[in-house]
Amino acid sequence: MSTRQMDRPSLSPQRMPVRDVFRVGAAGLRTRPTRAGLSALGIAIGIAAMVAVVGISSSSRAELDRRLAAIGTNLLTVSPGQTLSGKTAELPEEAEAMIGRIDSVTGTSAIGAINDIKVYRTDQIPKAQSNGLAVFAARESLKVTVGATMRSGVWLNGITGRYPAAVLGSTTAKRLGIGRADPQEEILIGRHRFTVIGVLNPVALAPELDNAVLMGWDIAADKCGFDQRATTIYTKAPDSRIAAVRKVLAATANPEAPAAVNVSRPSDALAAKLAADATLNALLLGLGAVALLVGGIGVANTMVISVLERRAEIGLRRSLGATRGQVRLQFLTESLLLSLLGGFGGVLLGIAVTTAYAAYQGWPAVVPVWATAGGLVATVLIGGLAGLYPAMRAARLSPTEALATL
């Protein structure tokens, strides 16, 4: 090797500054705004679906937590189970009083089902159209014990409990076409007219009351043949003692047959409902992922077509000194920018949908940070994968082959 060849400096391609990389990558989006917008829309729909599903679920859970925090989760429900012969058991008449003697119990109340009695709006309603409403005798302490609130009117007290007065559950009021309590509003229970003195809001921890008509214990025995035997006893205890109370409730309510007593915790049913909601949310997230995949395919398709349409541009840049790596970086950057555009749009759309739906339902709007961050990360991954092949294809074009299209 000659001395001149040894002294000749080696040539290496100059690296593009980061600013130029983004400027060149964004050029393709600026020159084809319609196609870029449609491709970004596909990504945005998938991201918006994922964010909205997570946001609406989180908002619903926040509302449920708020309600449970307001009414408490320290409520236990005692009801008759099954006898050995398979028949429905009965609670002893003294069951409520015995439960109230447990040291850790802070409050009890009860309802008693009144069977074989129908409720009608007026005596002009056909007998077959009873709406399937349940009729219960209720203790005066029931409202406080289960955390019920009044939509209209008043709750039963020591005076109204001895007269034909009734309180309607939220669903019952709708079925009977009664919007609010009124001294002139009457319903027919069996053969007797009762004045509607109150309408309840939905009761989260005692949903059986939503579909019920409630009356005082004394008037139920006097007018409706009620045997004064409780069919459901609600028990409250401190959170720290709720497990211990639960263990002794069955034996306390019915010492002779504790196996014939059911003890449940309404908040456990709410937890099961949340688990079911989580399963549904997983399905919806799957649908959002499919929409996101379709958007990614749209980005890949746009980038492949962009490579085919811009072969002359690629050839010109190569002939002017652009390396394969720089061309590959240009198209990969364009794909990432396109995906990020769709990702930001999808996150904003998902937040807007969640906020609007939560406002409509009266819930607190909650969109977890991980959902928005995860959505943006997903767009980067989708954009990178979708733009990888078109970028490599563009880099493989030789200058002469690309310029032949001019």
Checking if the pLDDT of 264 tops 90, the result is: no
Taking the domains of the chain in order of start, what are their residue ranges? Answer: 16-67+271-403, 74-106+237-264, 115-137+146-227
State pLDDT tens for residues 153-204.
999 998 998 999 999 999 999 999 998 998 889 999 988 999 999 999 999 8
Whether residue 379 is predicted with pLDDT greater than 70 in this model: the reply is: yes
Residue carrying structure tokens 């906020």: 355
Q: What is the structure's pLDDT at 222?
A: 92
The model's pTM is: 0.56
Cα separation of 157 and 15, whole Å? Answer: 85
| 268-320 pLDDT tens trace | 655 666 666 666 667 666 766 776 676 667 666 766 676 666 666 666 666 66
Query: How far lies 73's CA from each of 207, 219, 236, 245, 266, in Å?
Result: 14, 31, 9, 14, 8
pLDDT tens track for 223-235: 998 988 999 999 9
Q: Looking at residue 13, what is its pLDDT?
A: 56
CA gyration radius, the chain: 35
Which residues are paired to 188 by β-bridges?
120, 193
41-45, 97-101, 235-239, 252-256: which range is least confident on average?
A: 41-45
Residue 404: Cβ-neighbour burial (10 angstroms; 0-12, 13-18, 19+): exposed
Mean pLDDT of the residues in the chain: 81
pLDDT of residue 368: 83
